[in-house]
Amino acid sequence: MRTPFEQEALETIRRSRLILPGSRVGVAVSAGADSVALLRILEALANELGITLVVVHLNHSLRGSESVADAEFVEKLARERNLRFVQRVEDVAAVATREGWNLEEAGRRLRQRFFAELVEEGVADQIAVAHTADDQAETLLAHLLRGSGMTGMGGIHPVAGPVVRPLLEMRRQELRRYLQSQNQEWREDSTNSDTHRMRARIRKNLLPLIERDFSPAIVSHSNELARFAREEDIFWNAFVEERFEKLASQSEEGVRIAARDILTPLNSLEEWSYQKKATPAQSISAKLTASPQLAVTERLIRRIYEAVRGDRRELSAKHVEQIIELAGHLKSGRKVELPGGIIVHHEVGELVFARVIGTGRKAARETTERANAYQYVVELPLNETRTLTVAEVGKRLSLNLIDWPCAQSDTMRDIQALDADLLRSPLILRNWRPGDAYRPRGRQGERKLKQMLLAGRVPVSQRGTWPVLESSGQVVWALGMEPADECSARPGTRKGLLILEEEGWGKLESGMVVSGI
């Protein structure tokens, strides 16, 4: 027969749908009271929940013989219940030293890896861990003291991937009373009383002080706050993800987004279109502090950073402010360096978030190439020959309209000819970017422009500024290369377009054809 405490746990699990019927649940047992109570509770509810249990234990090797005794205790506990026992031994201190992490961070990462591999290998479908309402309150206080934002105030989540926390609404002392009623022993971790650790000081000193002198309900209030914050976070994550997909573009190079879209990410939503499109970005930036756009701008920046780096660690509010300031500048070539080797460049009205590749001269060369980036919009329709001066690299390019088919004397130049009527807005002349690719005329498949430049023996020093034409977001031409098949001149073309570099303005020769491509 279930105890009232076990019934409460059952109702929590069912209400929150934490554990699915038919699941193989790995119960993470450290030998401490909370995790032992979790095992006993799930054991009592296993038949009703329709689950099977596996006991899993990670030996951190931090306390010598105590760690060994903990593992032996857990193994015995599993054996007494005829449950499978899976153990892993890790030298957490050695890993922390090697990777430059503190012990808490190293332990957390190794536990996550252990749990993920258990699921990947089919040992368990879910991993149940024993965080309690007290752990939640301690976490929120720690985040508050460290200056956390609203995401941090969400605290410990009941479900995080395959990890579930069935005891998150229960108090630590309730679990101990439950174990005592079951005549169940547990082991105490001596490091939990080490007040050199902030978490231990919060547990032993700060939380009891608040409960005694300020708010007896601090734990329940903290858990309510965490729940509200998580609900807010769910909304924001969905909304910002929609803005990210709508406004940003990803490639091998990184993530690109218009500076205006960083500063006014709501403007493409009809109900928020109160800003005039002609407002300069720097003016928008100056007014942003009083605008409801700011909340979205800050979250969008963090989402873009995460897309490039893989997580949001070390990105501070100061870094976000620097990126907002960068977006408000008119001049290209400025940059902001972020943690994790991420650099944000301002390139002709766009911000480019990219990871620094390599070190030394290689990184310096690529940074220089980004600084010389350019982008020029060509208005359509093309009714006459036009000339573009690319000041960033000292080149002048002419866009020559010619009657088609061309004269016999021009046949050697038609390799670069585009059908002018097939070009679509926005038509942009810019520098090469990593990831650029298209299907050249006469080819079966798409080719990376980087490979074409390499095959054409274009010097490395020139590749970063090599002229490229983009039609409606697709690369259709590069200097010296055959044009994209879908836009190339062909029978039926009325106007051909040749893009040539004028002599005396750069290192490339007018009308040059790159061989071997």
pLDDT digits (tens, 9 = 90+) for 455-492: 777 777 677 888 888 887 889 988 888 899 888 888 78
State the pLDDT confidence band at 291, using cuts at 50, 70 and 90.
low
Q: Which of 122-126, 276-280, 451-455, 460-464 has the highest mean pLDDT?
A: 122-126
| Chain position carrying tokens 């931090």 | 62
What does the DSSP assignment read for 404-447? SSPPGGGGGGGGG-EEGGG--SSEEEEE--TT-EE-BTT-SS-E
Task: Look at residue 288 in the predicted model and tell me its pLDDT.
Answer: 57
Amino acid identity for residue 192 in this structure = N
Q: Which CATH class is domain 375-501?
A: alpha beta
- CA dist 415 and 456 (Å) reads 14
Residue-level pLDDT at 513:
31
For 59-79, the pLDDT digits (tens) are 999 888 999 999 999 999 999
Overall average pLDDT of the 107-131 stretch: 93
Q: Taking a C-beta distance cutoff of 8 angstroms, is the pair 70, 30 a contact?
A: yes
Q: Which of 250, 286, 288, 283 is nearest to 266 (CA)?
A: 288
Among 35-39, 124-128, 265-269, 423-427, which is the least confidently predicted range?
265-269
Identify the top-confidence range among 58-67, 78-87, 198-207, 391-400.
Answer: 78-87
pLDDT of residue 280: 55
Q: Please name the residues in contact with 9: beta carbons below 8 A apart, sequence gap of 6 or more.
A: 41, 45, 166, 167, 170
Residues paired with residue 164 on neighbouring β-strands, in sequence order: 128, 159
Q: In this predicted structure, what is the pLDDT of residue 277?
A: 47
Domain 4-232 listed as CATH 3.40.50.620: yes
Which alpha helices (DSSP H) does 310-391 contain, by range?
Answer: 317-327, 360-371
**pLDDT of 503:** 57
8 Å CB contact between 426 and 377: yes
Specify the amino acid at residue 121.
E
pLDDT at 185 over 50: yes
Q: Which residue has the tokens 């979205």?
A: 296
pLDDT digits (tens, 9 = 90+) for 340-391: 889 998 887 889 999 875 444 444 444 444 556 788 888 777 777 788 877 7
Q: How far, in Å, are 209, 312, 325, 360, 384 from residue 303 at the CA level?
A: 38, 8, 18, 29, 44
Is 382 in contact with 418 (CB distance < 8 Å)?
A: no
**What is the CB-side half-sphere exposure of residue 183 using CA atoms within 13 A?**
0
Q: How confident is the model at residue 152 (pLDDT cuts 50, 70, 90)?
A: confident
Burial class (CB in 10 A: 0-12, 13-18, 19+), 345: buried
Model confidence at 408: pLDDT above 60: no
pTM: 0.61
Q: What is the pLDDT of residue 372?
A: 64
Question: What integer pLDDT is reported at residue 333 of this predicted model?
Answer: 72
Calculate mean pLDDT across residues 33-55. Answer: 96
pLDDT confidence of 411, banded at 50, 70, 90? very low
More confident residue, 455 or 257: 257
**Strands (DSSP E) found in 91-248:** 126-128, 159-160, 163-164
Domains 4-232 and 375-501 share a fold: no
**Alpha-carbon distance values, 245 to 239, 241, 265, 303, 346 (Å):** 10, 6, 12, 11, 20
Q: What is the pLDDT of residue 510?
A: 32
pLDDT tens-digit series, residues 210-243 = 999 999 999 999 999 999 999 998 899 899 999 9
pLDDT at 142: 92
pLDDT recorded at residue 393? 67
Radius of gyration, alpha carbons of the chain: 31
Cα separation, 2 vs 82, whole angstroms: 20
The arithmetic mean of pLDDT across residues 4-24, rounded, is: 91
Residue 514, helix vs strand vs coil:
coil
**Would you report the helix, strand and coil content of the chain in percent, each value rounded to 5?**
45, 20, 35
Res. 93: pLDDT tops 50? yes
Residue ranges per structural domain of the chain = 4-232, 248-371, 375-501
% the chain with pLDDT above 70: 85
pLDDT more than 90, % of the chain: 45
What mean pLDDT, rounded, does the chain reach? Answer: 83
